[in-house]
Amino acid sequence: MTAPTPSKLAYVPFVSVDNMMKLIWRTGIEETLKELAGYVEDDFRRWELFDKTPRVASHSAEGVIELMPTSDGEVYGFKYVNGHPSNTKTGLQTVTAFGLLADVASGYPVLLSEMTVLTALRTAATSAMVAKHLAPKGAKTLALIGNGAQSEFQALAMKAIVGIEHIRLYDIDAAATDKAMRNLANKGVTLTACKTPEEAIEGAHIITTCTADKQYATILTDNMVGAGVHINAIGGDCPGKTELHKDILTRSDVFVEYPPQTRIEGDIQQMPEDFPVTEMWEVINGTAKGRTDDRQITLFDGVGFAIEDFSALRYVKDKLQGTDLYEELDMLADPDDPRDLFGMVQRAK
């Protein structure tokens, strides 16, 4: 990644929601998801280079506000993100976010971007990248349980990266399923709206649970999960929020991003601290095994990790080259003499 030039140090490229959408549609959403998954996979391969810490979270009865920082030693990145499941009742998004990249050598920001849309993209790209490594060979059918804001991104990522052809959808709110069916129409996949989660998982090779309620929930019970499936459990992403019965975990080989965070926030928060898990970066690097037989149940307990956001911001910064899809924000003080900040302020008189 190129550091900012001295003449531009006072200005930071900013990607608005409008320009993010233009960037996506200029590339194509499925191509964007594939390219973004490649960036995430590349950064998983160099996982050991990154600073890693569980996200810094401020919890309330209504939801959570989090900061997610990391650095590869040359570039620093963070994301601000909230999760407030009840927001939709007042017409607000459950999740909003923005992120920043900075040059480590100078500490100066080099990119500021919206990340509400980008988080949906990176979450879906990560899910599909993991499924590419863990799902049964020839997987064609996806059960998508939870048809809210993330669902269409998950569906299209699984189509573009894994080769999913048939999607079976279920949500406790039938209107959410109707919305997803409309948005996914004519996207090259066969769609089936289901009335129960049991119906949704019939014949599915991959099961994605993507619900938003902040509670200990049991979206999947043990008797619903047969041998050989891959479970993509991405809705359990904070303390006190789960989707799977713990007996499913004991039958599965569980894969995670960063264990210290997942043990606090993921479905494995139900399990003892020594419950065995495999870190996904090790599978990608070939130092740990992923799927080993046709009857194995693989489970990705995905909670989202800062390195994935870093990858997404890195991808956006590269995609901006040669475009006009950003604004230059005058957000950094630039005094004539670096030691005379007060003198710069005096110029405003």
Rounded-to-integer distance, Cα 112 and Cα 99, Å = 6
Q: Which of 237, 267, 301, 309 is catalytic?
A: 237
User: Of the candidates 38, 35, 110, which has an alpha carbon nearest to the alpha carbon of residue 75?
Assistant: 110
| Rg value, the chain, Cα | 21
Establish whether 237 is a catalytic residue: yes
Q: Please tell me the distance from the alpha carbon of residue 138 to that of residue 158, in angstroms, as a whole number.
A: 12
- Would you give the DSSP letter of residue 226? -
Is the separation of the CB atoms in 162 and 135 below 8 Å? yes
Those residues with Cβ within 8 angstroms of residue 175's Cβ, 6 or more apart along the chain or in another chain? none
What is the sign of the dihedral through the CA atoms of 318, 319, 321 and 325?
negative
Q: Which amino acid is at 191?
A: L
CB 204 within 8 A of CB 230: no
Half-sphere exposure of 230 (CA within 13 A, CB side): 31
Q: Report the Cα 54 to chain-centroid distance in Å.
A: 15
Give the total residue count for the chain. Answer: 349
Catalytic residues: 237
